[in-house]
A and B are shown apart, each in its own frame.
Chain A
Amino acid sequence: MRVSFDLDDVLFVSPDSYETEPAPGFPFNRMFPDRLRKGTPELIHALQERGYEVWIYTSSYRTETYLRALFRAYGIRFDSIVNAQRHQIEVQRDRRERLPQKLPNFYRISLHVDDEKAVQENARRYGYRTMRVYEPDEHWVEKVLREADRIYRLQQEEHA
């Protein structure tokens, strides 16, 4: 099963409004100014320990190289990264119809975690599952894990 995460305001948050993970040591804290929501490494590792693939699916143009280096500084490895460029090449392609910025079901992602209401609304229209995380919540890790496990069990039933 695949679980994906948006970046801005989901995993990357402002320390002015959210509790964040300690920044990496100098000079990596200067190379990678984005700060991680508190609990991110714990959550990603917990999902991977359950055997789930964990992806990033972002509409930003940050390169895969940059993202892998940044998350490495936090001890996190993602199974795959979809950025805006990859989405454009693989999903939008040369279609006339403008597709949404994210189409998790194209990549067989079972659960996509995002902050945007539009992503949640598109889920009904385009047939994918999403969970909205958009404000400080000290229980966000447990909530995401619980939802991922719920979807995993649903999929097991569907395939039984």
Chain B
Amino acid sequence: MEEKLQKIEALFVKYGAVPTSLDEANRTRFGDRVIFERSGCYIRAGVAAFDGQPFLTLSSIDQLKFAELGMLEDVDALPVDCPDERLEQAVRYALGVEPYPEVYP
């Protein structure tokens, strides 16, 4: 899981996002991962369980005041065994590098 999360964060960097020091206090308290920023889009990788099943999540927000509090919205959820190509596509969409297709997911 950690390896996948690090892959996602490497993809953030690949597409021009930079790590921030936002929400450091809550990161320590709640174990949230680093928030990255690209052109006003704040994004973070994470894990969430739905019906007891873990998913990799991409959370984002486009307002600094919410990002400062770590309040990002889940915008995508991917299976933990998701292929790397699918991960990369999801990151491209979430960062706005590429527009979401008409039908998604």
Contact = CB atoms under 8 A, between A and B. Distances in A.
A25 B60 CA distance: 21
B66 A63 contact: yes
Interface residues of B, number: 19
A72 B74 CA distance: 13
Contact of B105 (A28, A64, A65): A28
A75 B77 contact: no
30 contacts: A25-B105, A26-B50, A26-B51, A27-B51, A27-B53, A27-B55, A28-B77, A28-B105, A30-B50, A31-B74, A31-B77, A63-B61, A63-B63, A63-B73, A64-B62, A65-B60, A65-B61, A65-B62, A65-B73, A65-B75, A69-B73, A69-B74, A69-B75, A69-B76, A72-B100, A72-B104, A73-B104, A73-B105, A75-B102, A75-B104
Contact of B51 (A30, A64, A65, A75): A30
Interface string A25-63: 111101100000000000000000000000000000001
B73 A66 contact: yes
Interface of B: 50-51, 53, 55, 60-63, 66, 73-77, 100, 102-105
